[in-house]
Amino acid sequence: MSAAGLADLFSLYSAFPLLASASFSADSPASSGSSTSLSLTTDSLSTEPALLLKAFSSIFSDNESSWEAAQTISRNAREEIGLPNTASLGYGEILPESVFTIMCEIKDVHGLERGGVVYDLGSGSGRVLFAACLAHDFRLSKGIEFIESLHNAALRNKNRWEEHDVVTPEEGGPVDRVEFDFLKGDITKITSRALSPAPTVLFCHATLFDDDLFDCVQVISENCNPGTFFVMITKPLRTVNSTGMVTGIETLSYKQYRMSWGHTTVYLQRRMKTNE
């Protein structure tokens, strides 16, 4: 982002009441019994992610929009539908500052054109998508979530975003508004295992996904266009299949990032260009 772009962002976000810092208490993931207290400050972030975090915290400032609230919604829903111990439905979130840093890498190191479509498979309360859309001017943002009450939480978060009238000015171009499309649905039921419209960037917090669900995500990813970026939490997409054939997915980097439940490895992967 240019200095002018950053200045635009500053003036945009100065309309929001900024927080000096934010703190999160890490809850344990469904698979872990430990609980650690995490103190999140903006000090360790480069300027742009720190700025984005302040904007994010301003939009989602109330308890009802927190990841803790989403986790409670998920737990209650799983008990109600009689699936309290289904691992794939376990809840945890990528912290927004992790999303910002990942998006910076995609943009600055690997190149990401303006616009595009971002997906989150298993989108929960939608916070990953809102963070991604603060970091980049996607034109469309799509989330697919199985649990209805989490899907409804994402719709309430969408209202919060729209109340703030967030725009993403960039590089002196026109100011764009992103469209959010949250679907209450099942990843395993996606027609022909193909996402439409095609994603530019796809997030998947697959930490607790079982093998069948992960296999679905694998096929959906292999059906994406060359050049599509995948942000895979804990579990990377396979680059070689069980018969030793390449899948067309390459790994660009893998690093540790903070989640609501602790640290894990995030794999940045890409669908190879056909001539690679």
Ligand X SMILES: C[S@@+](CC[C@H](N)C(=O)[O-])C[C@H]1O[C@@H](n2cnc3c(N)ncnc32)[C@H](O)[C@@H]1O
130 Cα distance to chain centroid? 8
Residues 124-143 that bind ligand X (CB under 6 A): 124, 128
Q: Which is nearer to ligand X, 119 or 170 (CB)?
A: 119
Which bin fits 171, alpha (ψ -120 to 50), beta or left (φ > 0)?
A: left
Quote the CA–CA distance of 229 and 249 in Å, as a whole number: 9
Residues 56-95 that bind ligand X (CB under 6 A): 74, 88-89, 91-94
Site string for ligand X, 170-209 (x = CB under 6 A): ----------------xxx----------------x-x--
User: Minimal CA–CA distance to 37: which of 227, 275, 262, 267?
Assistant: 262
Nearest distance from residue 213's CB to ligand X, in Å?
A: 5
Q: Which is nearer to ligand X, 185 or 227 (CB)?
A: 185
User: Minimal CA–CA distance to 260: which of 74, 31, 21, 36?
Assistant: 36
Q: Which span (105-113, 145-153, 161-169, 247-255) binds ligand X, by CB under 6 A? A: 145-153
User: Minimal CA–CA distance to 158: which of 135, 185, 182?
Assistant: 182
Instruction: Indicate the residue whose CB is closest to ligand X.
Output: 122
**DSSP string spanning 99-162?**
HHHHHHHIIIII---SS-EEEEES-TTSHHHHHHHHHS--SEEEEEES-HHHHHHHHHHHHHHH
Nearest distance from residue 150's CB to ligand X, in Å?
A: 5
Instruction: Kindly state the number of chain residues that form the binding site for ligand X, as judged by CB under 6 A.
Output: 23
Q: Which is nearer to ligand X, 14 or 85 (CB)?
A: 85
Nearest distance from residue 212's CB to ligand X, in Å?
A: 9
Residues 208-247 that bind ligand X (CB under 6 A): 213
> What are the residues binding ligand X (CB under 6 A)?
74, 88-89, 91-94, 120, 122-124, 128, 144-147, 150, 186-188, 205, 207, 213
